Amino acid sequence: MTDAPLPRPVLASGFDIPANVVVVDHPLVQHKLTRLREAATSTAGFRRLTRELSLLLAYEATRDLPLEMEQIETPLEPMTAPKLSGKKLCFVSILRAGNGILDGMLDLVPAARVGHIGLYRDPKTLQPVEYYVKLPEDMAERVCIAVDPMLATGHSAAAAIERLKRSGANAIVFVCLLSVPEGLRTLCAAHPDVKIVTASIDRELDGHGYIRPGLGDAGDRLFGTR
């Protein structure tokens, strides 16, 4: 059997992907994302798929975690083996939809610390408004992974990361299910040092700031609201 080339999960044509952006093209990720996009997917199914996708994306988001060696005893002999180095991870959910991704990440790293940043987008200006922040201590000593299903205009993500930097965080990864060129340009311009992990770069934003083709409002679909 001849292996067919894997279709690229990038729906935006003519967009040069920045060096700090990783598009996860694993077949399982792309399959689950397709099921997630479907309008017929139930609230329960949307939650389950989001959780499964976030666990898979977490592998890429944590790829560069530092390791150190320690001496252990296997049932057969002693050996020197790698383990994670330094303080525990910190996952930061950008409320409210970020909580849907948070659950899957914690399945993979249950000992991680968790922070929350509450932002809402002003419907007229599309600018983020902060209403809640709760973060762990010693942020400067932790790798921080900020999560939000959608990177649309990029303003909320940029504001959240700016808030994390003010708290002392200096090793930050941003993870989202969907992005668009507009949002990537905004976030990369504001924070070129931040790695961005996404499952797709969709075509564009519409006049209301929604990702097209997208998957609708992630928060509404996660929580069964309108």
Query: Is the distance from CB of 95 to CB of 41 less than 8 angstroms?
Result: no
Tell me, yes or no, if 217 is annotated catalytic. yes
Is 79 within any annotated ligand binding site? no
Q: List the alpha helices (DSSP H) in 141-217.
A: 155-166, 181-190
SS3 178: strand
Cα 166–chain centre separation:
20
The neighbour count for residue 100, using CB atoms within 10 Å, is 25
Is 156 within any annotated ligand binding site? yes
Is 217 within any annotated ligand binding site? yes
Is 211 within any annotated ligand binding site? yes
Tell me, yes or no, if 206 is annotated catalytic. no
Q: Which of 217, 221, 225, 226 is catalytic?
A: 217
Q: Which of 2, 74, 80, 125 is catalytic?
A: 125
Q: Which of 34, 121, 138, 203 is catalytic?
A: 121
* Token digits of residue 49: 């798929």
Tell me, yes or no, if 221 is annotated catalytic. no
Tell me, yes or no, if 47 is annotated catalytic. no
Cα angle 101, 202, 36 (rounded to 5 degrees) comes to 45
Is 152 within any annotated ligand binding site? yes
Q: Which residues are annotated as a binding site for uracil?
A: 211, 216-218
Residues with a catalytic annotation lie at 121, 125, 217, 220
Q: Which residues are annotated as a binding site for 5-phospho-alpha-D-ribose 1-diphosphate?
A: 96, 121, 148-156, 217
Q: Which residues are annotated as a binding site?
A: 96, 121, 148-156, 211, 216-218
